[in-house]
A and B are shown apart, each in its own frame.
Chain A
């Protein structure tokens, strides 16, 4: 049978099979497995059928726990099902996995294996998650490559039906799930051949049915549970044999042969590494290279890890083996060894103790950890392991791939050892997220993979920033299949798509001598050399690189593509690499453009064609001088003057040298200093705002709305400005209170993202040219150095006394020092202004519990954090636990703080005689509702601390430790809608009901933004999102109304862009409310599909149309709890929605459905407005009417219990 060759990634490879063999697909997004669910959802939306001719039902659940539960139910009723997950998601499935396995129910869960959140979250790949399920009773089948992800997916689905043992099929997150490879695709006939209908019928016959009733899921007592548990043993004993037979059938049908354990290497090997997953590719390359040199080495690949077939493992090893190194891609602290190691040790020990041992002498076994969180695993590391096996006294437990200078577990590697195929083109492309580099490379792989006999591989590395992110594409093309499951470190082609990278990244480090270097630069071939950093010049000369330059941005802009240079650079690659003849390549590129953009309209296709056609004449070879005489140096990753930790650790991570940091550089417990984002000057703005002090009215709106805290205001005495840089601007302060002082608005040029939101927020228009405002965007480069000096001068100026400011006024809020700054959020992010405001108002006394999501990534993803401290050293203390538990996590913080406060107060009372009545009464009776009150209490605590130092006794010591608890602390529980509306809603609801004094801020982007825009229950009716490709059919959940129902919860709906004063008021009221408060903050988002510079206008439209009615529901308000802060809707809903791609794409794709949903959505808006209006009109009785007596009572009593 002729099968097609396709270039796809591991997720798609597995999902294709799973979709064909499923009827119910229960999904929930989690990186890196989300694309599998997205594929399933898209195929179902396109009415693609499964093997039995029906369209599978794809259902998004509220969590992975929910997905597992729904899957369990579907299986019990006879459906064939699947789900896709990873990491914490898999952990949430464990309870159901036990049930499904205990009931011997066939199913396959496909896992893109990922690290677990431990000392830190990591989205990258290892086996920590799957290893945490090895005890559930699921069979575990590991794929090592994209081809295997497809093939073994089928083996798993076929085997589970026969064995009845459920299967977990896994492959390595990112390395396999996101690696694009050329593979042979299975045809439907292949799938059908592997899956006898009889097994499907047997599965259906075991289903729950009232026509043949039985019970399953009983409770059992000590008399029988144990025996019942043992009853399934026979299924597990039979399972390996079944998998073997399925693998044999697969080989007969398809030709590729797999075994439970596959050995590769010298037939007389003495040293063998044992491992599973993507590392096998690197291991096989290393082994082949060493065998070619005469070494007796090999590698054993574990495919079926559970049930663990020890006999097959031993049989697969050559009898000559003397030493084994078992590699685990996981860590079990405190264990005698990692799981695979222990399994192998046990297998050998049991075999040695048996009648006919496989080995004459029990081989030595050592175990090592490698590749955690997608840490590179290279042939050089495999060689290091094999070398260690040859040592006289090898490390019994080792690590490889890192430098462990603390407990000295690590093995040294030889960086010169390489197994790269000399006939393989190895290319590296450095791009910006926004420039389309990765997309172009994915296209190139398709062109080469599917259009030529060459093999192709692509792997893409991203940083963790959501704006100005750097992408590095690693591509290989060659005449032989590519097994190199590691990054390109010896490139024959290097392309730098952004000129500014040369200043901060060593892009030529991996270039091989004689390689081609392609640079996108704003300079011509005769000028570019002088603009290169000296180090780059030296590399070009020393490595004898062929150097080409193109002004790709000019070509792209002339074609109407703006700064998307993908088609231009792709054309250059083909022209220079010679992988295809030029003409053929250009035709192929154009075909790919048609395929990629055709559905988006002829215009887009034509623009890209124009770019391609104009590329070659703009591409020039640069004559390389003999000497590197440049005057430009690379900038250091952080400025001099950064703290020690930042210099030693943070700077190395920023510079891309994090892999080289030794274990000793890191804290033991995942604790990192705040305030590090200020040292990571990313310099990504092309334009920055420039202040026109002559017309500025000093309203502070720009400062409030800036998502990145890069535009700031201060008011100081004129004398303070002495010595200011010559370009430093100020104006007379327009405050009655600060009559004779100077006001200044200053931008940090290297932290600004250039989003332009500040300019949009500015209400002033220049009277002589209305296009100008009081701040205007201007090119950054010419301003950079002067403004940096101005910024440094500005930062050194004092902040005003908080007590002198009116915190309820936006104008005054601008003068509060932000304690959340320079995050890596998207340029123009709609969430971060709220966090910044929170930090300004309460940051010096706040503990933040942050749900996993965008805010935890831009808030806490290394290398730096935007959370920082003020001049007194106080600032938000921030922590992220998980996605699902954040409300509970925050509640726990509240309980601890309350307990500490109660303890301190009790101790105070007991030490009254020693400390004096005045101080104790002052501390116990302090009014901390105002900034003045807080400052006074802090002063008292300072006195207390001084006095206590001289007081002996246990109680005094305890009070000294806990005195800070006497200053009131706020707990802010922060997260997105995925957390608050879906996965964390149960906890959120419970915390609201607890009556405890916590503040909950929901940054509502109306989708799972962080994982790529999947629908949540906050997604509005009619909006297209992943998992809602046809437009979400249901109305957005009214979280506010649900919280109001408790009667004692403060609830506010805010949209800062529509009404900043209302937002500030809501934050202050929420914090002041002595009980739970909930702020639902409208947050425009890149996933809404429009230029975020218009985010504020869209927020206004959201409010004006009634889509987002602003309100504050304050149970304590005498004149009625519900206060509507917006006027009745005066804009048709579609005037708001049609500005956003999430709605418009449905208008294009399915106008009738869009019109129907739009009409229904308008009805939702009208009805909700009437409800709210009614609630507001109810006046003083509103709270009682809205609340339920039971809930109010319960909440009230909980609160009383909690009162210290």
Chain B
């Protein structure tokens, strides 16, 4: 019998298919469906510190608007006794998700301040999350800020959180780094138990009719996985850290590639948004079918088999690949 089990963040998972954050994870019923469909773990949507702060400031501003200005209308709203503006709703969601399913629940946090990262990480741990994914999404726009400074910020952040929580930490980052392997090593040293590659960079579009910058959100495709695949393959065995691929995992073959590159888990979102939660089962059975057809016994067997360390031509992951692609263009 084909063994799909893997390990991630110190836990044995029944298979490497993990659901990554999306609106689907906001509904406990959907999380149950994910477990039923074969998900090995679920990463919840992120708790955004900035959103909490902005909501708090906005509510205050609007409840205070016009207050104590006009004798007939000293206020404009009734004073409700609770606004649930802190992280309480998210923490409650963590608790409910934990109670609802048997698979590990990984919470996700996007902070803006050191204090916020630490405070919310602790609360998430107290709420019972099995692990915490630090979702670092940061676009450095200040020309005065160097790459080294940005990396330093990342490392300090992980160190700070590590110092305050005990649950395993995954760190999800983007790929815009000059020397990502080096940063990965530092993140590991700072306390990351896993690296989640990569955050997608949400690039806004321009509407030339309305002259407005418009946010875009397109679902990923398998092509996007290639970047992740490359970096997982490069990092595998170079660092003693779990690796997760997120972005572009759509098919059972994608998941298998992720494993062969060296990932511990393959995370899916867009595929489920497109095809429904039940599609997880198809991916899982597709993996088994392929492995059986190709006589693989286990994920452990294939994991990292095509990493940079294990392929015949390691340069394929480096300049060699670049040269080959260029020459193929030249030929056509």
A joins B in a complex? yes
- Please give, as numbers and ranges, the residues of chain B lying within 8 Å of A1146 by CB-CB distance: 80
Instruction: Pick the contact of B70: A437, A464, A1144 (CB < 8 A).
Output: A464
- Decide: B78 and A564 in contact? CB cutoff 8 A: no
Contact A599/B65 with A123-B71, A1013-B76, A1145-B59 known, Cβ cut-off 8 Å = no
**C-beta contact mask, B46-76 vs A, less than 8 Å → 1, else 0?**
0000001111111111111111111111111
For the complex, give the distance between the alpha carbons of A174 and B70 in Å: 13
Q: CB distance B63 to A603 under 8 Å?
A: no
Q: Which of B75, B78, B80 has the most CB of A within 10 A?
A: B78
User: A77 vs B83: C-alpha distance in the bound complex, in angstroms?
Assistant: 38
CB pair A1010 B63 closer than 8 Å: no
Among A504-512, A658-666, A964-972, A1022-1030, the one that faces the other chain is A1022-1030
Which B residues between 293 and 321 are near A, CB-CB below 8 angstroms? none
Which of chain B's residues have a CB closer than 8 A to the CB of A600?
56, 59-60, 63, 83, 85
In the complex, residue of chain B having the shortest beta-carbon distance to the beta carbon of A461: B71
Closest to A602 in B: B86
Asked if A1024 and B78 sit within 8 Å, CB to CB, the answer is yes
The yes or no answer to B145 lying at the interface (CB within 8 A) is: no
Shortest distance from the beta carbon of B74 to any chain A beta carbon, whole Å: 7
B79 touches A (CB below 8 Å): yes
Determine the distance from Cα of A174 to Cα of B82 in the docked complex, in whole angstroms.
30
**A961 vs chain B, min Cβ distance (A):** 41
A-chain residues with CB within 8 Å of residue B163 when the two chains form the complex: none
Residues of A within 8 A of B (CB): 31-32, 34-35, 38, 41-42, 45-46, 123, 174, 178, 432-434, 436-439, 442, 460, 462, 464-466, 469, 471, 560, 562, 564, 597, 599-604, 607, 765, 770, 826, 857, 1009-1013, 1024-1029, 1086-1087, 1089-1091, 1141-1142, 1144-1146, 1148-1149, 1151
Q: Across the interface, do A599 and B81 meet the contact criterion of CB distance under 8 Å? A: yes
Residues in B neighbouring A1087, C-beta threshold 8 A: 66, 73, 76-77
Tell me if B57 and A607 are in contact (CB < 8 A).
Answer: yes
State whether the Cβ of B84 lies closer than 8 Å to any Cβ in chain A. Answer: yes
Any chain A CB within 8 A of the CB of B273? no
Q: A1090 near B62 (CB under 8 angstroms)?
A: yes
Asked if B323 is at the interface (CB within 8 A of a chain A CB), the reply is no
Chain A: minimal CB distance from B80 (Å): 4
In the complex, which of the residues B58, B69, B76, B211 contacts A469, with contact meaning CB atoms closer than 8 Å? B69
**Contacts A46-B81, A1029-B80 given: A1012-B62 contact, CB under 8 Å?**
no
Verify if B89 is at the interface (C-beta below 8 Å from A). yes
Residues on B with beta carbons closer than 8 Å to the beta carbon of A437: 68
15 contacts between A and B (CB under 8 A): A45-B78, A433-B68, A433-B69, A438-B68, A439-B64, A600-B59, A601-B53, A602-B56, A1091-B62, A1141-B59, A1141-B62, A1145-B63, A1148-B55, A1148-B85, A1151-B84
Question: Which A residues are CB-close (under 8 A) to B79?
Answer: 42
What residues of chain A lie closer than 8 Å to B212, measured between beta carbons?
770
Q: Whose C-beta in chain B lies nearest to the C-beta of A467?
A: B69
* Nearest A-chain residue to B81, judged by Cβ: A46
Which residues of the partner chain A approach B73 to less than 8 Å between Cβ atoms? 1009-1013, 1087
Q: Please, which residues of chain B bring their CB within 8 A of the CB of A599?
A: 80-83, 85
CB closest chain-A residue, reference B119? A602
* Pairwise interchain contact B78-A471, C-beta atoms closer than 8 A: no
Residue in chain B with minimal CB distance to A1028 = B78
> Which among A174, A1012, A1027 is the interface contact of B75 at CB below 8 angstroms?
A1012
Q: How far is the CA of A438 from the CA of B70 in the complex (A)?
A: 11
The closest CB in chain A to the CB of B71 belongs to A462
Which of chain A's residues has its CB closest to B70's CB?
A466
Contact B68 A1089 (CB under 8 A): no
Smallest distance from the beta carbon of B112 to chain A beta carbons, Å? 11
Number of interface residues of B (CB under 8 A): 38
Residues of B contacting A: mostly: loop
CB distance from B205 to the nearest CB of A (A): 14
Given contacts A603-B53, A1148-B59, contact A1010 B72 (CB under 8 A): yes
Cβ–Cβ contact A1026 & B77, under 8 A: yes
- In the bound complex, what is the Cα–Cα distance between A564 and B66 (angstroms)? 12
Q: What is the minimal beta-carbon distance from B210 to any residue of chain A, in angstroms?
A: 9
Task: Give the chain B neighbours of A1142 by CB distance below 8 A.
Answer: 77
Q: How far is the CA of A1059 from the CA of B211 in the complex (A)?
A: 21
Identify B66's interface contact among A826, A1011, A1149, CB under 8 A: A826
A1089 touches B77 (CB 8 A): yes
- Is B84 a contact partner of A1148 (Cβ separation < 8 A)? yes
In the complex the two chains form, is B59's CB within 8 Å of A466's CB?
no
Query: Which of A433, A434, A601, A826 contacts B56, CB < 8 Å?
Result: A601
B77→A1145 contact, CB < 8 A: yes
Distance of A253 Cα from B71 Cα, bound (Å):
36
CB-CB under 8 A from B64, the residues of chain A are 436, 439, 564
Contact of B71 among A31, A42, A1026 (CB under 8 A): A31
Which residue on chain A has the smallest CB distance to residue B80?
A: A1149
Report B-chain residues with C-beta under 8 Å of the C-beta of A469. Answer: 69-70
Q: Separation in Å of the A491 CB from the closest CB of chain B?
A: 20
Cα of A764 to Cα of B52 in the assembled complex, Å: 35
Cα A1145 to Cα B73 with chains together (Å): 19
Q: Which residue of A lies closest to B210 (CB)?
A: A765
Q: Are B78 and A38 in contact (CB under 8 A)?
A: yes
> 17 other contacts beyond A602-B85, A826-B66, with CB at 8 A cut-off?
A31-B71, A433-B66, A433-B69, A434-B66, A438-B68, A462-B68, A471-B69, A599-B82, A600-B56, A601-B60, A603-B54, A1009-B73, A1012-B76, A1141-B58, A1146-B80, A1149-B81, A1151-B84
Residues in B whose Cβ lies below 8 Å from that of A123: 71-72
Instruction: Let me know if A471 and B68 touch, CB within 8 A.
Output: yes
- B284 CB to closest chain A CB (Å) equals 33
List residues of chain B with CB within 8 A of the CB of A564.
Answer: 64
CB–CB A560/B83 < 8 A: no
Q: List CB contacts (< 8 Å) of B18-70 with chain A.
A: 52-70
B57 adjacent to A1089 (CB under 8 Å): no
Shortest beta-carbon distance, B159 to chain A, in Å? 24
Q: How far, in angstroms, from A469 to B67 measured CA to CA in the complex?
A: 11
The 3 lowest CB-CB distance pairs between A and B, nearest first, are A433-B69, A601-B56, A1012-B73
Please name all residues of chain A whose beta carbon is closer than 8 Å to the beta carbon of B57 when the two chains form the complex: 560, 601, 603-604, 607
Cα–Cα, bound, A1024→B68 (Å):
20
Q: Nearest CB to that of A770 among chain B residues?
A: B211
What's the minimum C-beta distance from B244 to chain A, rounded to whole angstroms?
31
Chain B, 71-110, CB within 8 A of any chain A CB? 71-86, 89
**Are B60 and A1089 neighbours in the complex by a CB distance under 8 Å?**
no
The CA of A1151 and the CA of B55, in the complex, are separated in Å by 15
Most buried by B among A174, A857, A1145: A1145
Smallest CB separation, A752 vs chain B (Å)? 18
* B54 contact set on A, CB distance < 8 A: 603
A1012, B72: Cβ atoms closer than 8 Å: yes
Given contacts A600-B59, A1029-B78, contact A1149 B68 (CB under 8 A): no
A1151 touches B89 (CB 8 A): yes
The residues of A that contact B67 with a CB separation of less than 8 Å are 433, 436, 439
